[in-house]
Structure 1
Amino acid sequence: MAEEVSLGRLPAVVAFGGGHGLASSLTALRRITDRLTAIVTVADDGGSSGRLRDELDCLPPGDLRMALAALCGDDESGRTWAEVLQYRFPGDGSLGGHAIGNLLIAGLWQRLGGDPVAGLDMVARLLDAKGRVLPMSAVPLQIEADVVGLDAAAPDEVSTVRGQAQVAKTMAEVRAVRLNPADPPASAQAVRAVGDADWLVLGPGSWFTSVIPHLLVPELARAIVDTGARRILTMNVQSDAETKGASAARHLELLAEHAPKLRLDVVIADRSFARDDPHLETYARSLGAELVLADVAHRDGSPRHDPLRLASAYADIMGV
């Protein structure tokens, strides 16, 4: 990697995730490389995305839209386009709650005969996006979760919660997730991007609905496991609503339970989340990874990553 950087070749980086977590990593990564691909989960079934998915039988566009917005530049044009993509129509009418970017993406898919990658590439060119956005699968997916505590009268009983929106907000403890269909086709372009990458970045994001699902698409999971690229896992700055107070080490354990063949090279954890967790380094080593502790949380104390701090951590690790 050092030789490549010295020759002026920035690393090819593939980032996985969905929603705000992926947007954070992309905002950081576009500051250190111009060879960036986002591979995005396609299981969202709530809000505007769920409505368009049901009405048009298309991939849910919301997380893809957020990734494209995160890849817009920092100049006035880039900021304007990002705001336009994210703008939602007000009110309770037929357009109420829809994001402009969702309608744009869904409309292009209809115009281009349902080719999701061609539509996303066209939006990226329109925005002058600093990277490429790809769906992880060619078909819309449903997330199912095994949970305990859903029924207060039977707190140890295992129940099933279906749908990303329901899994994300369940008050029960999520033990495991799976995809329906169980063997979905991976996006061919996504698999090729993994094979061509120098670095893969998993996380941050909602653990069960944004991070783990990529490892449940068999062909994509094999590509991640078999790649010659180095693999970084970016931990959340604290447990989220889905993991409900789980330690940082427990997050790694959950990842390993869903993808037992996965090995990592680096685990990035914010110092505040790693503090008082004596098992984190042991779990990281069990996955083959070096644990890197860094101050990557936002300075205002909110549970999110600071893009500049995260970019600095990525640059140090990648030797950029």
Structure 2
Amino acid sequence: MSKITAPDGDDASRPPRVVALGGGHGLHASLSALRRVTTDVTAIVTVADDGGSSGRLREELGVLPPGDLRMALAALCGDDEWGHTWSQVLQHRFRSEGDLHGHAVGNLLIVALWELLGDSVAGLDWVGQLLGAHGRVLPMSSVPLEISAEVSGIDPREPEALTTVRGQVACASTSGQVRSISLIPEDPPASPQAVKAVREADWVVFGPGSWFTSVLPHLLVPELAHALVTTRAKRVVALNLSPQKGETEGFRPETYLEVLREHAPKLGVDVVLADTGTVEDAAPLTSVVGELGGRLELADLSRGDGTPRHDADKLATALERILTD
């Protein structure tokens, strides 16, 4: 797939600057696609993970949770032997009966560089150079965060009663329905490099990914949220292929946008990208997209293997069409 150049009015030799927001598998999918389209990609990643290897390192060392940052770096590795090898190394998890069990090699590498350099962004940049990453990875905040969610339906006897659930893992795996989220601390500091990247971007891509625990948290970091609302960049929202149990169970395609508007009422949207197989009736979705000031783009985006995951090549084709329109 050919790389595209900057929008009209800019230096035609410069690739478009694209910022992708999210975390986990959803951000991995968008980055895997975007690095096929442009050579100037910056990932801004959530830092609220409290489970698994990331949670253990966060609790023991007081560092940012490295897991979602690691996955973003792995997604930006190239398709050559060097890229494939380092992506596998980064994602490799130890299997043992001891303390190393479950730790990802990439998590340990990232945290080691943080301790040596005393700078989370510099550490990620060094890992990116080692991998030959096709882009940059930044944390959305300079401090570890905790997600707090208001959840209904946990008690079946009171389906409308709200319960406060704390922690990313607890919010993502709740048996109820997440209604809204907030961050702890309430007004966390944004990563200055992340704010700068958003202000200088040509395009900002939200999603796909866990809506409440990976996508929306960016809009709750005040300085980053202000940059996302006021940037000159155009904004793309890539919708998920299916709801997640608990977190977005029962969501229709337009529900994602309604929730986005509730958490960031001043945010405009230029394009919403959705999978043709997911949208049974485009009319309600088109209506909400129009209310946000954007247009709807439908495309075949699924892997087609029965899993609710995006195909990187199909997503790249759709994003290339959007970025060049």
Place the TM-score, normalised by the shorter chain, in its bin: over 0.9
Cα drift, residue 299 of structure 1 = 2.3
What are the within-5 Å matches in structure 2 for residues 6-85 of structure 1? 7-85=12-90
Structure 1 position 237 matched with structure 2 position 248: no
In structure 2, runs of 5+ residues without a counterpart are 1-5
Structure 1 position 302 matched with structure 2 position 307: yes
Q: Could you state the TM-score of these two structures normalised by the residue count of structure 1? A: 0.97
List per-residue Cα deviations over 1:15-74 (Å, max 9, x = no partner).
000000000000000001111100000000000000000000000000000000000000
Conserved in 1, the CA contact under 8 Å of 2:206 and 2:215? Answer: yes
Counterpart residue number, 1:143:
147
Structure 1 position 99 matched with structure 2 position 89: no
Seen in structure 2, the aligned counterparts of structure 1 residues 59 and 319 have a Cα distance that, compared at 3 Å, is: same
SS, match of residue 274 in structure 1: coil
Q: Could you state the TM-score of these two structures normalised by the residue count of structure 2? A: 0.96
Counterpart residue number, 1:89:
94
Conserved in 2, the CA contact under 8 Å of 1:5 and 1:11? Answer: no
Structure 1 position 191 matched with structure 2 position 199: no
Structure 1 position 208 matched with structure 2 position 212: yes
SS, match of residue 3 in structure 1: coil
Counterpart residue number, 2:156:
152
SS, match of residue 278 in structure 1: helix
Conserved in 2, the CA contact under 8 Å of 1:204 and 1:234? Answer: yes
Q: Distance in 1 between matches of 2:294 and 2:130?
A: 39
User: Which one of the candidate residues 263, 271, 276 is aligned to 1:266?
Assistant: 271
SS, match of residue 281 in structure 2: coil
Q: Distance in 2 between matches of 1:272 and 1:293?
A: 9
Cα drift, residue 277 of structure 1 = 4.9
Structure 1 position 169 matched with structure 2 position 162: no
Q: Distance in 1 between matches of 2:97 and 2:240?
A: 34
User: What is the number of equivalent residue pairs in this alignment?
Assistant: 319
SS, match of residue 83 in structure 2: helix
Counterpart residue number, 1:112:
117
Cα drift, residue 226 of structure 1 = 0.1
SS, match of residue 204 in structure 2: strand
Structure 1 position 128 matched with structure 2 position 127: no
Conserved in 2, the CA contact under 8 Å of 1:249 and 1:277? Answer: no
After TM superposition, the runs of 4+ consecutive aligned structure 1 residues lying more than 6 A away are: none
Cα drift, residue 82 of structure 1 = 0.3
Q: Give the counterpart letter for 1:298 in structure 2.
A: R
In structure 1, runs of 5+ residues without a counterpart are none
Counterpart residue number, 2:257:
252
Cα drift, residue 217 of structure 1 = 0.5
Seen in structure 2, the aligned counterparts of structure 1 residues 11 and 158 have a Cα distance that, compared at 3 Å, is: same
